[in-house]
A and B are shown apart, each in its own frame.
Chain A
Amino acid sequence: MLKAPSFRASILLGCLAALFLAAPLFVGPYGLKFVTRLVVFSTLVVSLDFLLGLAGLVSFGHAAFFGVGAYAVYFVSPEAASANALLALGAAIAASAAVALAIGAFACLTRGFYFIMVTLAAGQMIFSLFHDTDIAGGSDGAYINVKPALAAFGSGLLDFDDRRTFYYVCLALLVLSVLALSLLARTPFGRVVQALKANEMRLSALGFDIYKFKLAAFAVSGAVAGLAGGLFACIDGFVTPELFSWHESGLAIMMVVLGGAGTLFGPILGALAYISLEETLKSASLVGDLVASHWRLGTGASLIVAVLLSPGGLAGFFRGAARTRKPTPARLGQAPLESRKAATLATENLTRTFGGLRAVDGVTVSFERDRVHAIIGPNGAGKTTFTNLLSGALKPSAGEVLVDGRNVAGWPAHRIARRGVGRSFQRTNIFPAFTIEDNCRLAAQATHPSVLRLANSRRAQEDTLVQHALAVVGLADRTQAIAGAISNGEQRQLEIAMLIASGGGILILDEPLAGMGPEETRRVIDLLLALKPNHTIVLIEHDMDAVFAVADTLTVLALGRVIAHGTPEEVRRDEAVIAAYLGGHAPRGARP
C-alpha cells in the first residue's frame, strides 16, 4: 500500500519544493526552460507510477498519452491567436483519457509480457499514424504559433508565453497531480488498484471485476500523462511525432524505477537524477570532451549500475527502517455470528473436459446451509477442477452450477463471487504487501465492488465487517501485521477471514489444512465448526481425521465422478470408496 513519505524523505521533498519554487530567481532563460521541462516530465512519470508502481501494470506506451495531450493543444490552438488555456489543457486531458480507454480496452485483456508489448505496440501505432501521414505536419512536426493564455473579465490572467508564469503553472499542476493521485490511492477504488499488483486472482474471487479496475486506472494515468503532454507542447510551442516514440516511454519507465516505483514521489527524484545525469555527462566543461561526446555510454553504464545495485530505487534510500511488531499468538475469537446472505450450492451433471480427459464427469450434488460438506478423493480425482468450476475459475464444458437455484455456469469468477460464493485456494492466496486489516478491508469492500468508489462512505459498515471477521478467525489483535510476514497457518486464517468479510454465505475451502501442524489444524477445525451455523461450507481436504471430525456429508470423487455421497458413516462403509482408496485401481463403474 502507498505509504506516506518517511521523515527523511519528507525533508528531502521539502528542500526540493523550496528549490523548485525559488528556481526562477537564479536561473537564466535557458535554465528556466530546463527546469520547466523537468517539472513537466515529473508530472508524466508520476502518472506512470500510478499505473506501474501502484497497479503493477507496466505500460510501455505511456509516451502515447503524453503525445496525444501535446497534439490536442496543437489542434485546439487557432492559427494566429492564443487558445484558452483551460480549453487547451482540458482538451489534452480529455483526448488522452479517451485514447487511454481505447488502448486499455485491448491491453487490459492481457497481462505480464503481453501487456507490456501491447502497450508498446499501441504507442508505436500512434507514432506511425502521426509520422507516416500528413496529420499535423507529418514527420516534420508542427508549430503552435501562439501559446494558450487565460483571460477573464477583459484582462489576461495567465499567459503561457510568459516563461515564469508558465513555470509556476506547471509546478502547481505537478503538485496537484501528486496530491490527487495520492488521495485517489487511498480511496476504496485506489485500494483495489493497489491490490491488482499483489493478487489479481484473489480480487476476482472476492467479486471485483478486475478488468474494469485496470481500465479505470489506465484512463486516470493516461489523463494525467496527457496533461503533462499538453504542458510540454507549450514549452517550445512545437509538437513532433518523436513525442510518441518508444524511447520516451522507455525513459519514463527508467525514471520511475530509478526513483522508486510505487511511491508517487520517488519518480520525481528519478526524473531529477536522470536528467541531471544526462546534462552533466553532456557538458564538456564538467566532464571533459571525451566523456561528453560519448554521453550515452556513460548514461547507460550508470543506469545499469544503479538498477543492479539498488533495486528499490532512489526512494529506497529514504525509506525509514521498517518497524517490526512483536507477534502475538492468535486466539480463536468468540464473536457472535450474524446471519448473512447464505445460499445453497448445487451442481447438475457438471462436466469439464481437457482434450480427451474428462476431469469432472457428470457430477450432480447439492450442498445445504448450516453444514460442512467435505469432498474427498484420491489424487487426480478432479477435486480441484471441481472447485474451480464451482467458483468460476474454469468454465464447465457441460452441466449447471446452481447458486440458490440460479444457474451460474460460465459466469466470470467475480460475478459468481458477488452472489455470495467465497473460496480459498490450495496455495494461500492473499495480498502479502497489505496489512491484515487492509486485506480484510478490501474483502469487506467487495460487498459493494463497483469501480467508481472514491468516498469512504461505508467506512463504519466495513469496519464492523472487518472486526467481526478478524475476531472470528482469531486475528483481531494483529491487525497491523504485514500479511506476507505472518505464519502459514495464520495466512490461512486470514484468507478465511477475508471470505467472511466479503460476505460470502458459501465458503469453498481448498485444502485449508495442507502443511499445518496439529495445533494449527485443531484451530482451523474449531473455526470451521464455529462458522457452520449460517454458512454453507464446502471443504476439500486430504486429512481424513479432520474430515471425519467436521464433515456432515461426504462426497467421494474418483476419476471425475461421484462414487459415493452420504454421511461419513455411510461413506466409510462404501465398497467403491474402499476400492478407490485401498485397492489402488479404479472402482466399478468408472472408466479405466
Chain B
Amino acid sequence: MSLILVQILNGLQYGLLLFLAASGLTLVFGILGVINLAHGSFYMLGAYAALTLTARFGDIFVALAAGVPLAFLFGAAIEWLFIRHLYKRDHLQQVLVTFALILMFDEAQQTLWGNYPESIPTPSYLSSSISLTSDLGYPVYRIALMTICVLLAIAMMFVIQRTRFGRLVRAAESNPEMVEALGFDSRILFRIVFAAGVAMAAAAGILAAPVESAYPGIGDRVLITSFVVVVIGGIGSIRGAFLGSLLIGLVDAFGKVFVPKFASVLIYALMAIVLVLRPSGLFGRQ
C-alpha cells in the first residue's frame, strides 16, 4: 500500500517536472512552428547551472532564482542567433539545425563540467523526511519541488489565460499570420515565447538536480519523453501537456516497479494507443 503511495508521489513529481519541460516544447512548436530538438539540452544546462550556482551561492533556491532569468536571456540569444532563421523553413531543416545545436551544447557541457555525474546538495533545512505512514517517510525537498512546480504551472496558466500577452500567445497559436496582420510584432512575441520555454525547461533541470543529479545525456531522456507528452497531449495544448505529463509520470513510476525492464517501452505503447484512438492527441485540433 505504502509502495503505491510512494509511487504515486514519485510519478506526480516526475510528471510535474516533465510538464515544465514539455510545456515549452509544445508552445514553441504550436506557435513558432519549430521542432526544437535542443529543448532537452536546456534542461541539461539547467541541471549543470544548478551545480555551479549552488556551489557559488550555497542554496538550490538561490540557484533557481538566479538561473531562471539567466536561462531566459540565454534562450532569447539562441532564438536571435539560430531559431529565428527557421520559422519559414521546413521541418527537416529545423531538425537539422537544432540537432547540430545539441552537438554544440553537449560539447559545451563536457568542456565546462566534464563527463562524470555530479550530485547537487539538497538544502540542509529540507533534507529531512516527513512520515506519510508509520513506516514510510518522504523527502521534504521533493514535496517542496512539487509545490514549486505546481506554482509555476499555475503562474503560466494565469499568464496564458488571463493576461493580454497570454491572449496574444493563444491567438498566435491558432493563427500566426493573422496576429501579424493585426499589427503585432511577432518577432518579439516569438522571442519571448521561445525564451520562456527555455526558462521553464531550465527551471525543471535546476529543481530536479538535487534529486537526480547532473550527468551527460540527461537532456536526451527529457527531450524524447517531452515529445511523447506533446504527441499525447496534442500540439500546442498546455492542458494536454499537463495531463500528458502526469499520465507519463505515473505510468513510468508504476512501470518501474511492476515491469522494470519494460518501463520505458510502456510510455511509447501508451503513446501508440492514444494516437490510434485520437490521431491529433488528447487536446489537439482534429
Q: Which residues of B contact A110 (CB under 8 A)?
A: 275, 279
Q: Given A294-B107, A300-B103, A308–B85 Cβ distance below 8 Å?
A: yes
Q: Are B103 and A257 in contact (CB under 8 A)?
A: no
Q: Is B101 an interface residue (CB 8 A)?
A: yes
Q: Which residues of A contact B103 (CB under 8 A)?
A: 296-297, 299-300, 303
Q: Is B95 an interface residue (CB 8 A)?
A: yes
Distance (whole angstroms) from the CB of A204 to the closest CB of chain B: 16
Q: Are B108 and A301 in contact (CB under 8 A)?
A: no
Q: Which residues of B contact A114 (CB under 8 A)?
A: 231, 275, 279-281
Across the interface, B89 reaches (CB within 8 A) one of A116, A129, A311, namely: A311
Give the dominant DSSP class at B's interface.
Answer: helix
Q: Given A304-B82, A308-B85, A109–B104 Cβ distance below 8 Å?
A: no
Distance (whole angstroms) from the CB of B254 to the closest CB of chain A: 16
Q: Are B108 and A109 in contact (CB under 8 A)?
A: no
Q: Are A257 and B93 in contact (CB under 8 A)?
A: yes
Q: Who on chain A is nearest to B33 by CB?
A: A113
Q: Which residues of A contact B133 (CB under 8 A)?
A: none
Q: Are A118 and B275 in contact (CB under 8 A)?
A: yes
Q: Is B37 an interface residue (CB 8 A)?
A: yes
Distance (whole angstroms) from the CB of B189 to the closest CB of chain A: 21
Q: Are A257 and B92 in contact (CB under 8 A)?
A: yes
Q: Given A106-B275, A121-B224, A299–B268 Cβ distance below 8 Å?
A: no
Q: Are A113 and B235 in contact (CB under 8 A)?
A: yes
Q: Which residues of A contact B260 (CB under 8 A)?
A: 132
Distance (whole angstroms) from the CB of A251 to the closest CB of chain B: 8
Which size bracket describes the interface of A in this complex? 35 or more
Across the interface, B107 reaches (CB within 8 A) one of A116, A121, A258, A296, namely: A296
Q: Which residues of A contact B95 (CB under 8 A)?
A: 58, 60, 116, 250, 253
Q: Mark A129-167, 1 if CB is under 8 A from B, else 0.
A: 100110000000000000000000000000000000000
Q: Is B138 an interface residue (CB 8 A)?
A: no
Q: Give CA–CA (A295, B95) in the complex, Å.
A: 20
Q: Are A250 and B99 in contact (CB under 8 A)?
A: yes
Which size bracket describes the interface of B in this complex? 35 or more
Q: Are B92 and A52 in contact (CB under 8 A)?
A: yes
Q: Which residues of B contact A122 (CB under 8 A)?
A: 268
Q: Is A128 an interface residue (CB 8 A)?
A: yes
Across the interface, B227 reaches (CB within 8 A) one of A120, A133, A261, namely: A120
Distance (whole angstroms) from the CB of A99 to the closest CB of chain B: 14
Centre residue among A52, A112, A300 by max chain B CB count within 10 A:
A300
Q: Is B184 an interface residue (CB 8 A)?
A: no
Interface residues in B89-105 (C-beta closer than 8 Å to A): 89, 91-93, 95-97, 99-104
Q: Given A106-B275, A109-B275, A109-B276, A307–B93 Cβ distance below 8 Å?
A: yes
Q: Are A301 and B279 in contact (CB under 8 A)?
A: no
Q: Which residues of B contact A294 (CB under 8 A)?
A: 107, 111
Q: Who on chain A is nearest to B269 by CB?
A: A125
Q: Are A296 and B264 in contact (CB under 8 A)?
A: no
Q: Are B224 and A124 in contact (CB under 8 A)?
A: yes
Q: Is B228 an interface residue (CB 8 A)?
A: yes
Q: Mark B88-129, 1 if CB is under 8 A from A, else 0.
A: 010111011101111110111001000000000000000000
What is the interface of chain B, defined by CB distance below 8 A to chain A? 29, 35, 37, 82, 85, 89, 91-93, 95-97, 99-104, 106-108, 111, 220, 224, 227-228, 230-231, 235, 260-265, 268-269, 271-272, 275-276, 279-281
Task: Please name 5 pairs of A and B residues whose Cβ atoms are closer than 8 Å in the assembled complex, sorted by A.
Answer: A58-B91, A114-B275, A124-B264, A300-B104, A301-B100
Q: Which 8 A-B pairs have the closest CB atoms?
A: A300-B103, A300-B104, A128-B264, A125-B268, A296-B107, A303-B100, A300-B100, A296-B103
